[in-house]
Amino acid sequence: MSETAGDHEDAQDQEFHRMNFHTRKWVRPEDLNANGTLFGGSLLRWIDDEAVVYAMIQLGNQRIVTKYISEINFRASAVQGDIIEIGLQATHFGRTSLTMRCEVRNIITEQIILSISKIVFVGLDEHGMPKEHGYKEVTFERDRFPEGLRRGLRRIT
Ligand SMILES: CC(C)(COP(=O)(O)OP(=O)(O)OC[C@H]1O[C@@H](n2cnc3c(N)ncnc32)[C@H](O)[C@@H]1OP(=O)(O)O)[C@@H](O)C(=O)NCCC(=O)NCCS
């Protein structure tokens, strides 16, 4: 049976829903470059911040370092007052690492600002060495929350 436009849209829709968009940022004057558009450095910092927290929750470890970031393709930009959202999707659980992909969208223009196909985080032990995490799948709960961060954690219902 041949694929219809509807099938293609359904597949895209499913793919879209697998990516979690948690963080939204409002582009402020201090986030602009000399061209008056969103400064790439600000955006990369926001992505790293979001992704490292995601990795902490997924790997149950607060000692997480960024190991590898693949090619970054800046496809469109944003201007002051735009709102962007950062999407992450875990793509591979290794022995000590977690690989994810990232997509950033401009909510106002509905354009994709950038995509990164591979960001690798490694969980470390107390000696700074890669630590086996034992996980193979994404958790949607806070059941792996690192013990060291758990004090004061309140249940959000
Ligand atoms: C993270 C670090 C301890 C890893 O050391 P290492 O000797 O590369 O350790 P390993 O070879 O055991 O690799 C650890 C994991 O990283 C993965 N990895 C290593 N090099 C990689 C690369 N170039 N691309 C993708 N993944 C890579 C390995 O596959 C392994 O994953 P797995 O255990 O899930 O299979 C070390 O490279 C380091 O401290 N780097 C600096 C991190 C940092 O400062 N980041 C920036 C600030 S957060």
What pLDDT does residue 77 have?
95
- What residue segments make up the domains of the chain, in order of their start? 16-135
Residue 121 Cα, ligand 1 centroid: separation in angstroms?
A: 8
Pocket test for ligand 1, best of 56, 67, 99, 124 (most atoms within 8 A of CB): 67
Angle at 96 between CA 91 and CA 127, to 5 degrees: 145
CA gap 32, 37 in Å, rounded: 5
Tens digits of per-residue pLDDT, 27-65? 999 999 999 999 999 999 999 999 999 999 999 999 999
Residue 70 Cα, ligand 1 centroid: separation in angstroms?
A: 14
Ramachandran assignment for 149, one of left (phi > 0), alpha (psi -120 to 50 degrees), beta (any other): alpha
* CB 66 near ligand 1, within 6 Å: yes
Residue 67 Cα, ligand 1 centroid: separation in angstroms?
A: 5
Count the helix, strand and coil residues of the chain and give each as a percent rounded to the nearest 5: 25, 35, 40
* CB 26 near ligand 1, within 6 Å: no
CA-CA distances (angstroms) from residue 24 to 21, 95, 108?
8, 31, 12
Residue with CA at minimum distance from ligand 1 atom 23: 68
The predicted model scores a pTM of: 0.86
CA gap 95, 31 in Å, rounded: 37
Residue 101 Cα, ligand 1 centroid: separation in angstroms?
A: 17
- Tell me if 61 sits within 8 A of 146, measured CB to CB: yes
* CB 131 near ligand 1, within 6 Å: no
pLDDT tens per residue across all 157 residues of the chain: 455 555 655 554 454 457 888 899 999 999 999 999 999 999 999 999 999 999 999 999 999 999 999 999 899 999 999 999 999 999 999 999 999 999 999 999 999 999 999 999 999 999 999 999 999 999 888 888 887 777 666 655 4
Q: Does domain 16-135 have CATH number 3.10.129.10?
A: yes
